[in-house]
């Protein structure tokens, strides 16, 4: 009997020591728990650390990170970052959301939640103005806009033949608010994995217009930011490379995103313009370069040639559609092949309908530009 009791005591001591070891490990690695919401905990693995998430808790704060439970999933984000919603890294999905029948579509439910102000405006007048459009050059490189516009992009578009354009989404789950409330609900989370309600739908609207013009387009809807946000660009790079290998006829690569501008304190920015009495989200082109030579990106000018033509045509066809073109020290997979661009369609404050409408208009602009590059 004494031996049995002794074994049970030893077993309990071992369990206690295991829990203590986990807490000590967290403290050593800088993950000091400072707030709990419940006395029951779920354990998740996060890299080399042991993460303890309170069951039923919506969020809790560690020394340098904040963890949030949203729509049945646990997310890690930099707590010091003002743009918290754009820096979430999903840790692990749970089965509770499916059991509760939660929808994956983002909705703006304002009941009992704080409201943040929205600054709705047409973003323009920033950078260098040429003819009918603006270019914001945040690099130390002097660019000659008329000279670059006179140079043909390195692409010969073949109509009604093999795939010419590839559309991808690095942050595939980026989405939009579902309705215009005049304010931004604090509990709204602008990401979802349903392609009918995220940035994939914008890509599909672009593809439709390109194909209507006879420009065959491949829309790769691979999800790159789920189940983890970190490393999305590396995964997208592999998707692009695979498609280039499988479709050597590809001439243009477009990575379509949704922007996030402003913050809760100063207000969230909604970039809009109106065409034919209908409100649409503004579009920003990002064309990158390598100032210091740390990336292998010697052919960035070919991307900028195409970007400038799209910018010019966009403002010609739909004045106000284009935010200033952002020429910056950035790579974002644009070094993989010529004629690669990143485009931000609207922000998380734009409605889904506004963004899809802009995708339609942008698709028509792209069609005009690429039709001018046929033989």
In a structure prediction context, what are the per-residue pLDDT tens digits for the chain, which is 375 residues long?
444 444 445 555 555 555 455 444 444 444 333 332 222 223 333 332 233 333 333 443 333 344 444 444 444 443 333 333 333 333 323 333 333 333 345 666 556 678 899 999 999 999 999 999 999 999 999 999 999 999 999 999 999 999 999 999 999 999 999 999 999 998 888 999 999 999 999 999 999 999 999 999 999 999 999 999 999 999 999 999 999 999 999 999 999 999 999 988 899 999 999 999 999 999 999 999 998 888 899 999 999 999 999 999 999 999 999 999 999 999 999 999 999 999 999 999 999 999 999 999 999 999 999 999 998
Sign of CA dihedral 36, 41, 42, 48: positive
Q: Any idea how long the chain is?
A: 375
Report the C-alpha gap between 212 and 327 in whole angstroms: 30
Report the C-alpha gap between 161 and 373 in whole angstroms: 15
How many Cβ atoms from other residues are within 10 Å of residue 311's Cβ?
A: 29
Which pLDDT value is given to residue 313? 98
Q: Left, alpha or beta for 293 (phi > 0: left; psi -120 to 50: alpha)?
A: left
Name the 3-class secondary structure at 54.
Answer: strand
Report the C-alpha gap between 282 and 120 in whole angstroms: 11
Report the C-alpha gap between 350 and 26 in whole angstroms: 40
Integer CA distances (angstroms), 153 to 66, 76, 322, in order: 45, 41, 20
End-to-end CA distance of the chain: give it in Å, rounded: 93
Rounded CA Rg of the chain: 24
Name the 3-class secondary structure at 145.
Answer: helix
Q: What is the model's pTM? A: 0.74
Question: Using CB atoms within 10 A of its CB, is residue 266 exposed (0-12), middle (13-18) or buried (19+)?
Answer: exposed
Report the C-alpha gap between 123 and 324 in whole angstroms: 8
Name the 3-class secondary structure at 295.
Answer: coil
CB 105 within 8 A of CB 192: yes
With the CA atoms of 278, 175, 170 and 96 taken in that order, what torsion angle do they form, in degrees rounded to the nearest 10?
A: -160
CB 130 within 8 A of CB 313: no
Which pLDDT value is given to residue 101? 33
Question: Using CB atoms within 10 A of its CB, is residue 160 exposed (0-12), middle (13-18) or buried (19+)?
Answer: exposed
- What number of CA atoms fall less than 13 Å from residue 70's CA on the CB side? 22
Which pLDDT value is given to residue 187? 86
Name the 3-class secondary structure at 267.
Answer: strand
Report the C-alpha gap between 42 and 56 in whole angstroms: 10
Which pLDDT value is given to residue 88? 38
Report the C-alpha gap between 176 and 351 in whole angstroms: 5
Return the closest-CA partner of residue 262 out of 118, 51, 102, 78.
118
Which pLDDT value is given to residue 293? 82
Report the C-alpha gap between 293 and 102 in whole angstroms: 48
Report the C-alpha gap between 164 and 251 in whole angstroms: 5
- What number of CA atoms fall less than 13 Å from residue 339's CA on the CB side? 21
Beta-bridge mates of residue 278:
275
Integer CA distances (angstroms), 141 to 83, 134, 301, 323, in order: 29, 17, 11, 21
Both tokens assigned to 147: 């000279």
Which pLDDT value is given to residue 105? 58
Report the C-alpha gap between 309 and 158 in whole angstroms: 18
CB 157 within 8 A of CB 148: no
Which pLDDT value is given to residue 20? 55
């Amino acid at each position: 009997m004494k031996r049995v009791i002794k074994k049970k005591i030893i077993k309990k001591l071992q369990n206690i020591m295991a829990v203590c070891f986990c807490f000590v490990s967290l403290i050593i690695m800088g993950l000091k728990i400072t707030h709990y919401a419940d006395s029951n905990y779920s354990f998740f693995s996060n890299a080399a650390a042991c993460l303890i998430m309170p069951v039923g808790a919506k969020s809790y704060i560690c020394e340098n990170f904040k963890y949030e439970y949203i729509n049945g999933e646990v997310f890690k984000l930099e707590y010091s970052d003002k743009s918290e919603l754009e820096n979430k890294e999903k840790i692990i999905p749970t089965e509770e959301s499916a059991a509760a029948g939660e929808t994956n579509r983002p909705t703006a439910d304002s009941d009992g939640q704080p409201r943040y102000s929205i600054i709705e405006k047409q973003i323009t007048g920033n950078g260098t103005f040429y003819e009918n459009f603006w270019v914001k050059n945040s690099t130390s490189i002097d660019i000659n806009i008329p000279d670059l516009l006179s140079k043909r992009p390195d692409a010969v578009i073949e109509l009604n033949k093999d795939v010419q354009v590839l559309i991808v989404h690095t942050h595939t789950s980026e989405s939009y608010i579902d309705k215009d409330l005049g304010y931004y609900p604090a509990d709204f989370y602008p990401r979802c994995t349903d392609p009918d309600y995220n940035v994939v739908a914008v890509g599909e609207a672009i593809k439709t217009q390109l194909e209507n013009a006879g420009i065959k387009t491949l829309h790769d809807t691979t999800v790159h930011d789920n189940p983890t946000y970190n490393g999305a660009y590396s995964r997208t790079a592999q998707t692009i490379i695979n498609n280039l290998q499988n479709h050597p006829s590809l001439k243009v690569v477009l990575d379509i995103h949704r922007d996030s501008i402003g913050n809760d304190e100063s207000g969230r920015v909604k970039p809009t313009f109106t065409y034919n009495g209908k409100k649409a989200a503004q579009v920003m082109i990002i064309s990158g370069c390598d100032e210091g030579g740390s990336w292998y990106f010697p052919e960035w000018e070919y991307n900028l040639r195409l970007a400038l033509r799209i910018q010019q045509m966009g403002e010609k066809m739909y004045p106000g559609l284009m935010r200033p073109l952002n020429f910056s020290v950035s790579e974002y997979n644009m070094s993989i092949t010529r004629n690669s661009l990143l485009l931000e369609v609207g922000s998380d404050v734009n409605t889904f309908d506004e963004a899809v409408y802009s995708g339609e208009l942008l698709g028509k602009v792209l069609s005009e530009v690429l039709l001018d590059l046929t033989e």
